[in-house]
Structure 1
Amino acid sequence: MTSTDLTVLDPYCKDDMRQLKKLSKSIFLRLNEPLTEADYDDFYSIANMTLWQCYNSYSTDKGASFNTFLCDCLTKKFKSEIRDRHREKRVINQLATSLDATNDSEEECNLLDFIASDFDTFEEVIKNDNEQFQDKVQQYISKLSNQQVNILNLLIDGYTPKDIRQILEISSTEYAENMKIMRSFENVKILF
């Protein structure tokens, strides 16, 4: 294209890029991808860059109108961007590890057993001995199964997870599941 062909960009650049945004939005709707307002801003920026790339690479020899050429380029760019975003999410999810997952060592502890923290729910329960708090503790304990109460008592007595599993003759998975339930927000929120 020559510099005199800038008129082909006029419809897309008028009124704060209204035509380019309209074209982009129609492509979004066809892609059926849920987008936030921030996503729309990102994609409009991509559309703006793509408009200039299309202008620089468009040739009337290709037989398609500039609008068709631009629409095809935008669709390809948007699909690539969505694919890359999903790919990033998958990589992050592959690296994620549950705090309740047990390790492969002999002790088969979960990550929560190794994370240093000054806060311990059970210690906090023991510290407060006012009557109202004791009622909350009773409510918390009443929601636990017999096995979970046994685990709680052994934890309060200072036993390690490995000792507790041996004493109660339960697997590391069973122990982890019980701990997950005992530490769940639904159960612990009663205490606060």
Structure 2
Amino acid sequence: MNSKDLAVLQPYCENDMRQLKRMSRSIFMRFNEPLTNADYDDFYSIANLVLWRAFNCYDPNTGVCFEGFLHSCLKKKFKSELTRRHRQRRIINLFAVSLDSVNEDEEECSLLDYIPSDFDTFDEVLKRQERGQFSDKVQQYTAKLSKRQVDILNMLMDNYQAKEIQQTLEISEKEYADNLHVMRSYENVKILF
């Protein structure tokens, strides 16, 4: 690397990479992408790498100034980085599988069939219910609710949709939402735990 090469890189490297950061920031502003300070640091690191690669790939015989060449390289790299980041958000979590899902390849066995356990959830709930562990708490919870809220609760337990509950009880969406908010408030729900 000779002094001529250093003369090309020096304006971008001096003053804590001020000119490179200013060029990068002007590119960010055009993308209208919300970025945190950590994102800016990531993109400045990418800009450093792009500066070095652009310097190595730059051919002065093309008739384009180095600044224009660097600007186009930065813009392309930032676009591809933003695309990569957004793609990560769209990836489906393939590992979230229900224990009741059936294996299509072999015989129809669920994952639950492969887990060795003699614990039965339904039996355990019935035992607790027989001992009255749930009924007392539920009675205390429903005692704090209004008649309208108890009606909503019963309809929700019977798998009614919100619209059906509103039509049946002749209440507005706001009244329904307000009642749900009261029913789910910590003051009322803490009794159940």
**What's the TM-score once normalised by structure 1's chain length?**
0.59
**Cα contact 2:149–2:183 (8 A) shared by 1:** no
Secondary structure, in 3 states, of the residue corresponding to 2:34?
Answer: coil
Counting aligned pairs with the same residue, the percent is: 40
Q: What corresponds to 1:90 in structure 2?
A: 90
Alignment of 1:146 with 2:151, yes or no, is yes
Alignment of 1:53 with 2:53, yes or no, is yes
Asked which structure has the greater CA Rg, the reply is 2
**Cα contact 1:143–1:187 (8 A) shared by 2:** no
Structure of higher RCO (CA pairs closer than 8 Å, 6+ residues apart): 1
Cα offset for 1:141?
6.5
Amino acid at match of 1:191: V
Deviations 1:82-130 (A, max 9, x none): 01111111114x7597x9xxx89xxxxxxxxxxx8xxxxx99865659x
Q: What corresponds to 2:189 in structure 1?
A: 191
Q: Cα 1:149–1:24, aligned 2, differ >3 Å: closer, same or farther? A: same
Where does structure 2 lack aligned partners over 5 or more consecutive residues?
Answer: 103-120, 122-128, 166-176
Q: CA–CA distance in 1 between the matches of 2:146 and 2:42? A: 50
Aligned length: 146
Q: Cα 1:151–1:88, aligned 2, differ >3 Å: closer, same or farther? A: closer
1:11-160 matches, within 5 Å, as 11-92=11-92, 126=135, 134=140, 137-140=142-145, 142=147, 144=149, 146=151, 148-149=153-154, 152=157
Q: CA–CA distance in 2 between the matches of 1:74 and 1:127? A: 66
Structure 1 segments, 4+ long, off by >6 Å, are 122-125, 181-186
Q: CA–CA distance in 1 between the matches of 2:66 and 2:145? A: 68
Q: CA–CA distance in 2 between the matches of 1:53 and 1:188? A: 57
**What's the TM-score once normalised by structure 2's chain length?**
0.59
